[in-house]
Amino acid sequence: MTRQPRPELPLDGILVLDFSQFLAGPVAAMRLADLGARVIKIERPGSGDIGRTLAFAGLESDGDTLSFHIMNRNKESFAADLKSEDDKSEVWELIKKADVIIQNFRPGVIERLGFGYEDVKKVNPRIIYASASGYGSTGPWKDRPGQDLLAQSISGFPWLNGSKDMPPIPVGIAVADIFTSAHIAQGVTALLLRRERTGIGGLVESSLIESMLDLQFELLSAHMFDTDVVVKRGAKNSAHAFLPAPYGLYATSDGYLAIAMNPIPKIGELLGIDFSIYADPDTWWSHQEEIMRILTEKLVTQSTEHWLAILDSADVWCAPVLTLSELVDHEGFRELDMMQETKRTSIEGAEEVLISTTRSPLRFDGRPLKSSKGAPHVGEDTEKIRRELLKGE
């Protein structure tokens, strides 16, 4: 399926060359595609992006992993060997016509291939060049593998999760990659706006480690302000190392309940617990474990819905802890209309491959952003792109 122009979208008419692989870079390019940009994925002939074989949950369809399908929807694929002079000459012609380049090779690799920012801007001074890395291009970490769990770990982030009796607990999704993709897309759109004003292109860079540090802006700022501020994880149920009782997750008779910042005496009154001795907010810190233990013993006696009926009616900040199945079956999830279906012709050309995935989290003019164009096969659009952009036909 050929991607159609969408003039109602803000980046319609912008041409992006996506040299990146696997997650942070490809998802940044996908975000730009969602905003209307035309994204051409530059892939090695035959094998393509390594993400085509790195499977999320072992799932694959039509020769590619589910991960690749959902990270590279709404793109075209141009097959080129960046070590072949003939292929490189074609890539240079595409670069002359491009608005944006995205790459996430390890520091120094893209420069050795001849497509670093300094080389590219000589050919196309208006280019917006985006580089995503693991740990930046300088310093003692720069050559370490740029992988999500490793970046989380170096940043200290896993120590923010769980209670004091637990080992460090990483976030169970690729949070560093996902946030880096959003930062790169934000930087690209900002430089595109600057280029509209000044005619000047530019370089935007971000990394997994910077994204993880940005997530911890409160903690890092507090520690730099007062070095006595360190991570001290709390009681068994605690959901935040820097918030007192009752902030946390609690078992009920049939599930779990989340309770956020709320006055302890009010919570006690609603649940039938005498918390009058904890009227002073300082005690919510000093007696956190005791308060949370009492809440745990009470909340487990009734169902989640029972407690929600009581707490919601009093405007207490709380929520059920939904399982994945409960989430997708909930009317609230359906109302958000977060899913879309992408399509591509199978590798044999005999049938349509359908993938259900999330849409962009943005809405424009009251409408969610959706596109049905699926991820491309390796080199699927090479000849079309040659005719359209390289031969002037």
Per-domain boundaries in the chain: 15-215+339-390, 248-329
Q: How far apart are CA 210 and CA 309, in angstroms?
A: 42
Using the predicted structure, report yes or no on whether residue 393 has a pLDDT greater than 50: no
**Tens-digit pLDDT profile for residues 184-226:** 999 999 999 999 999 999 999 999 999 999 999 999 999 999 9
Beta-bridge partner residues of 334: none
Q: How far apart are CA 214 and CA 144, in angstroms?
A: 20
Question: Kind of pairing, strands 38-43 and 76-79?
Answer: parallel
Confidence band, pLDDT 50/70/90 cuts, at residue 350: confident
Amino acid present at 54: L
Helix (H) or strand (E) run with residue 93 in it: helix 85-97
Domain 15-215+339-390: CATH architecture, name and number where available: 3-Layer(aba) Sandwich (3.40)
**Tens-digit pLDDT profile for residues 110-147:** 999 999 999 999 999 999 999 999 999 999 999 999 99
Sign of CA dihedral 28, 30, 35, 41: positive
As a whole number of Å, the end-to-end CA separation of the chain is 20
155 burial via Cβ count (<10 Å: 0-12, 13-18, 19+): buried
**Tens-digit pLDDT profile for residues 217-267:** 999 999 999 999 999 999 999 999 999 999 999 999 999 999 999 999 999
Instruction: Tell me the fold of 248-329.
Output: formyl-coa transferase, domain 3 (3.30.1540)
CA distances from 75 to 103, 107, 179, 337 (A): 15, 25, 21, 22
